[in-house]
Amino acid sequence: MKTEIEKHQSFKAIGFVIDNHAEAFNEQADILPARDSFIANTSRIGEILSQLMRPVSTVRTPKMDSENRLRKELSKMLGIGISLATTLDNQPLLVTLMNYDMQWKKCSAYQLYENSLHVYNELSDLKSAGSSASLTDERLAAFQTMLSNFGETLDMTGYRLTDRRKSRADLRDLIKANNKILRRQLDTYVRHLEDDFPEFYGQYMFLRKRKYKRSRNGSTDAEPCEITGTVTNSVTKLPLANAVINLLTPETIVTTDEDGMYVIEDLEAGEYTVSCHIEGYEVPAGVTVTAVAGDSLVVDFALVPAQQQEAA
């Protein structure tokens, strides 16, 4: 989130200058809504950044811990069930449990929950049909509790990750809104204040100095563009960190952060092809977009796990 933090610091500095020169806005009803929106957006950006600065691991770790415990217990319960199905010569159940036994290490968290639920139901039916020293009521009850807790943790983790992704989207929208207010309203307003409020004019313009790139048509005053997006696992819908994002022209390489987000800034207007790859996933087709001056384009990728492709 380095880019977003830098944007926020820039907005805060501009807001500080505006607050210190409130007289420059006296009796200027037309510009006041823009100024107030800019200040309010900057405050909200700070709140969202504070929330997102908490590592995503704080969201995922409880789920991972619960998931690892359930995988181990499912393995043990499958061992008990396979042994009993073999003793009882229950071939349909034996085949079912052996299939689950081949999946428990590598299946997704959601599949783990569904598989565990099915195994619990099968073992409960087996228990009701006769007693077994290894399959006690207490063990089944403990497995059910672990399964229930994991389901709740899975739901909560999904909710919190969705909320985090929404916050990232809100953050991106607020930054775009503030950039638009600066370019289209505040910059234009302040340019007319050089004589009446020279100190305010000087401080504001110093903060608003921009390094414009020479565009392909030779112009030097074109607003830079940016391309942003999110990379997720198409199966689990979870974000993918450290995915590599490429532009061929100009040659640019960035990686996604822990929320699966990336930003490519300071681009000139034109056509770009965005590609994405990460080990263990199929390489998707590149996405071609056309940016005009000042654009903030969004290019998202949902990557298919390589093993998913092989199984298809």
Q: How large is the average pLDDT for residues 238-259?
A: 88
Output the DSSP codes for 78-116: HHHHHHHHHHTT-HHHHHHHHHHHHHTTTS-HHHHHHHH
Residue 168: exposure state from Cβ atoms within 10 A (0-12, 13-18, ≥19): buried
Q: d(Cα 312, Cα 309) in Å, to the nearest integer? A: 5
pLDDT higher than 60, residue 219: no
Tokens describing residue 189: 């307003």
Give residue 164's pLDDT.
87
23 secondary structure, DSSP code = G
Give residue 130's pLDDT.
65
Give residue 106's pLDDT.
83
Q: How large is the average pLDDT for residues 165-173?
A: 88
Q: What is the pLDDT of residues 76-127, one digit of tens each?
A: 999 999 999 998 899 999 999 999 999 888 888 889 999 999 999 999 988 8
Please, which pLDDT band fits residue 210 given cuts at 50, 70 and 90?
A: low
Please, which pLDDT band fits residue 311 given cuts at 50, 70 and 90?
A: very low
94 CB contacts (<8 Å, ≥6 apart)?
82, 85, 86
Greater model confidence, 244 or 210: 244
Give residue 312's pLDDT.
42
Instruction: Let me know the angle formed at the C-alpha of 129 by 98 and 115, rounded to the nearest 5 degrees.
Output: 35
Q: What is the pLDDT of residues 252-261, one digit of tens each?
A: 999 998 888 8
**What count of other Cβ atoms lies within 10 Å of the Cβ of residue 240?**
22
Q: Which domains does the chain have, with CATH numbers?
A: 1-209 (no CATH), 213-312 (2.60.40.1120)
**With contact defined as beta carbons under 8 Å apart, do 200 and 17 qualify?**
yes
Greater model confidence, 238 or 163: 163
Give residue 214's pLDDT.
45
Per-residue burial over 18-40, b if 16 or more Cβ lie within 10 Å, else e, is beebeebbeeeeeeeebbeebbe
Range from 6-20, 97-111, 294-308 that averages highest in pLDDT: 6-20
160 CB contacts (<8 Å, ≥6 apart)?
59
Closest CA to 125 of 162, 151, 88: 88
Give residue 222's pLDDT.
63
**With contact defined as beta carbons under 8 Å apart, do 81 and 122 qualify?**
yes
Q: What is the pTM (predicted TM-score) of this model?
A: 0.69
